[in-house]
Structure 1
Amino acid sequence: MQSDQPPARPVGRGAKVRAAVHAATLAELVDKGYAALSVENVAQRAGVHKTTVYRRWKDRESLLADALAEHMAMDIPVPDTGAIATDLRALARSLVQTFTSPTGQAVLAAIFTGAAHLPEIAAARRHVFDDRLARAEPVVTRAVERGELPRGTDPAELLKTLAAPIYLRLLITADPVDETTADQAVRVTLAAAHAGVLRPAHDGEPATG
């Protein structure tokens, strides 16, 4: 049986092999979904022998976890527009754009449904989201320093509040997700921050103004 894929060109070693295999893994995920993902097909698409893949990743789960972690961590912009509203809008719209793309949809399906039960995927998911929060926290810190947000605003809580309505639509309600969704998330987040409810709780006290 002939493959519909064009013949893969050989690639070099090291970083080039890793990049090619990661790209092939995501492409297979988009085309066929997690259930049909195989090391053999990834290797063929990447232009390497399957033993090359197995030397670096012990199985398809570790390969997928590595590819997902790198993909989701590398493309988060950290805006610095000089105003918190436009910074958060850029972050929220980037999140919408990422996860409404074909690759983003396939990634979400893998990490929250198809492969969600796997320890490797759970660990990768936690690492990715922790990394996203850490890299975006300066947006909030700068806004507090400029006096745009109340002192004591918790960057992580603010960013989670920003992302929550977007993920709700993507993963639970299946409502449309677009720039309007992103902009509404910004308005809700800023209202909560200005009301003083996005501060960390201390000694069992609620995080209220």
Structure 2
Amino acid sequence: MVLSEKPGNGGARPGGRTARVRTSVLEAAGDALAERGMDGLDLADVARRAGVGRTTVYRRWGSVPALVADLLQDMAEQSQPRAETGSLIEDLTANAHLVRETLAHPRQGPLFKAIIAAATCDERTARALHRFYEVRVREWAPCVERAVERDELPEGTDAHEVVRAVSAPLYYRLLASGGALDEETAERSARAAVAAARAGVYVR
């Protein structure tokens, strides 16, 4: 899947002071999460890092879960758009490389680890994380839908499940096995998802 998941050029941020403050605060929050994890995320510290008044941060976000939810929304909106090459394997390989690059990134990898860990015990963070991935999966699902239209995949293939299958092995390595997050692993994840989809595994 999407994310980037790391910030990209998927959408243009609106201008104005309010938007600049939000951008600065969310960047500071992401830095703090990557460095210290969820337990070390403090609104006053985020305000200091962002160079804004703490009352601004408390008034607009009010709590750490609310700030993290906004951070995830912004990341989903700014993530890089899907590739559409006319080839399912090339599209999903591009997706896998994007996910791998994000999870292996020295800032984004720890950031995602912190958010995922927090989501296991905080319902608001969990909902925000689920929304983030829903946005990214929807962004890439048309690549699979086009493949069905081209008769590359069986009719009734669940496009969302195919996209999820691409990134699942990469997240497993990040969170569980500690295996290498290299380009070969990303390409193998894409090939495995495509092979399973062609075999009808994801037909509803």
Select 1:149's aligned residue among 149, 153, 167.
153
Larger Rg: 1
Where does residue 53 of structure 1 map in the other structure?
A: 57
Which AA in structure 2 matches 1:24? A
Q: Deviations over 1:162-195 (max 9, x none)?
A: 1221111111111111111111111111111111
1:28 to 25, 32, 41: 32
Output the CA distance in 2 between the equivalents of 1:155 and 1:114: 28
Aligned-residue offset at 1:139: 0.6
Does 2:85 match 1:81? yes
Counterpart position of 2:20:
16
Distance in 1 separating the partners of 2:195 and 2:125 = 34
Aligned position for 2:179: 175
Please report how far the alpha carbon of residue 107 of structure 1 lies from its aligned counterpart in structure 2 after TM superposition. 2.1
Separation (CA, whole Å) in 1 of partners of 2:44 and 2:64: 10
SS at match of 1:152: coil
Contact map agreement 1:69 1:124 (CA 8 A) in 2: yes
Cα deviation, residue 17, structure 1? 0.8
Q: Stretches of 4+ moved more than 4 A in 1? A: none
> Which one of 64, 67, 79 corresponds to residue 68 of structure 2?
64
Query: When the two structures are superposed, what TM-score results if normalisation uses the length of structure 1?
Result: 0.85
Counting only pairs closer than 5 Å after superposition, residues 53-202 of structure 1 correspond to structure 2 as 53-114=57-118, 116-200=120-204
Select 2:44's aligned residue among 15, 40, 43.
Answer: 40
Gaps of at least 5 residues in structure 2 are 1-15
CA–CA distance in structure 1, aligned partners of residues 55 and 172 of structure 2: 40
RMSD over equivalenced CA pairs, Å: 1.5
Conserved? CA contact 2:37–2:111, under 8 Å: no
TM-score normalised by the chain length of structure 2: 0.87
RCO comparison, higher one (Cα < 8 Å, 6+): 2
